[in-house]
Amino acid sequence: MKRLWDISPPLQPGIPVWPGDQAYREIRTATIGPGNPVNVSAIAISTHTGAHVDAPYHFAEDGMTAGNMGLAPYLGPARVIDLRGVKRVEPDHLAAALADPACPPRILLRTYERAPVGRWDPDFPVPSPAAIEAIARHGGILVGIDTPSLDPQSCATLDAHLAAHRHGLAILEGLVLDEVAAGDYELIALPLKLVNLDASPVRAVLRER
Q: Tell me: the pLDDT tens digits for 149-176?
A: 999 999 999 999 999 999 999 999 999 9
DSSP string, 113-142: SS--TTS--TT--EE-HHHHHHHHHTT-SE
* pLDDT, mean of residues 179-195: 98
pLDDT tens digits, one per residue of 12-53: 999 999 999 999 999 999 999 999 999 999 999 999 999 999
How many CB atoms sit inside 10 A of residue 80's CB?
25
CA dist 120 and 108 (Å) reads: 21
Nearest to 130 by CA among 95, 105, 81: 95
Catalytic residue positions? 58
Query: How much of the chain, in percent, has pLDDT values that exceed 70?
Result: 100
Domain 4-208 fold is Glucose Oxidase; domain 1 (3.50.30)
- Those residues whose C-beta lies under 8 Å from the C-beta of residue 48, and which sit 6 or more positions away, are 17, 18, 21, 54, 58, 148, 173, 174, 199
User: Per DSSP, which regions of the chain are E strands?
Assistant: 4-6, 25-30, 40-44, 52-54, 75-82, 88-89, 106-110, 126-127, 142-145, 170-173, 183-188, 199-201, 205-208
* Average pLDDT over all residues of the chain: 98
